Amino acid sequence: MNIKTSIIGVSGYTGLELVKLLLTHSTFTLVGVYASENHQDIASLHPSLKNVVKLPIQEVNIEKIAKECELVFLALPHQKAMEYAKVLLDKNIKVVDLSADYRLSLEKYEQYYCSHSDKENLQKAVYGLPEYNRANISKTNLVANPGCYPTATLLALLPFVEYLDNAHSVYIDAKSGVSGAGKKLVQTSHFVTINENLFAYSPISHRHSPEINEQLKKIGKIQQKTLFVPHLIPLTRGMLISVYARLKEQIDPIDILLKRYKSEPFIRVRENCVQIKNVVGTHFCDIYAKADEKDLFITSSIDNLLRGASSQALANANLMFGLDECLGLPQIAYAP
């Protein structure tokens, strides 16, 4: 089987990660890379790919893409992605969208982002968290790839939803490397700002907060209030989530995690606190939890560019085409 694939939006970090993953995939063949920047080829845009692959950077031509491809990854900013997704879906191309355009309900999307121009497909999109949505992912033509913070948070918290005391809020303390802010230089990601520094940003009002809440309600069936506070840390990539919650009863949290994820090849339940270095460069999500009577602490870690974006997009694409979900997913961490 040879499934021809394109990426629209290869100039950013997630676009680069997708290129690297697809170059070694046994079934998906990367035939087209597209960006708005004026570059001769992919190696001139990403010098790390020199002498690795020769692919010309092209301007987006939907008719050409539709003739060449069965699958398109959209690694674009919000609002721009939905413009292409609608046309591609009309031409029976399967789409994995890495932006936020199809992750939220219409009301929440327009509250936190902008007016939505593809309301019909917004209703059809499947949220691409494989551990909780495999069956639906395998039947859809449009996957809304989850955000990095929601991925790490949901995988950590969802096994415990039936044990939570609904009278108490859930507190989510999240820390991410600078690559999560994207390639565009802003004051907070300037070297002299982030070096030897750590700070919170968009506390409680971050755009990933409604995504976390909606999926907790949809998948976990809980109405609990969450308080989500992200922090920027002086690392290139990787993120660590700490969740604090109140339980209805005493439990063994490690036993619960082991039972829920015993068949999940890319969830690793740790015996002590997780470390970013163990997951960077991989598709793994590492999770640890501990309870003190009715107080619960959960911590998880992922590579924000891979499990939080590009390798999760690949896992979703594998499922959409009936392939082994694990095909082409990275397992070896960049440690030390």
Residues classed as catalytic: 148
Q: How far is CA 180 from CA 237, 267, 269, in A?
A: 7, 21, 24
CA distance 66 to 262: 40
Q: What DSSP line would sit under 23-78, residue for residue?
A: HT-SSEEEEEEE-SS--SBHHHHSGGGTTT---BEE---HHHHHHH-SEEEE---T
Radius of gyration of the chain (CA): 19
Q: How far is CA 298 from CA 102, 159, 265, 292, in A?
A: 28, 11, 20, 12
Q: Are the CB atoms for 188 and 194 separated by under 8 Å?
A: yes
Q: Looking at residue 306, what DSSP letter applies?
A: I
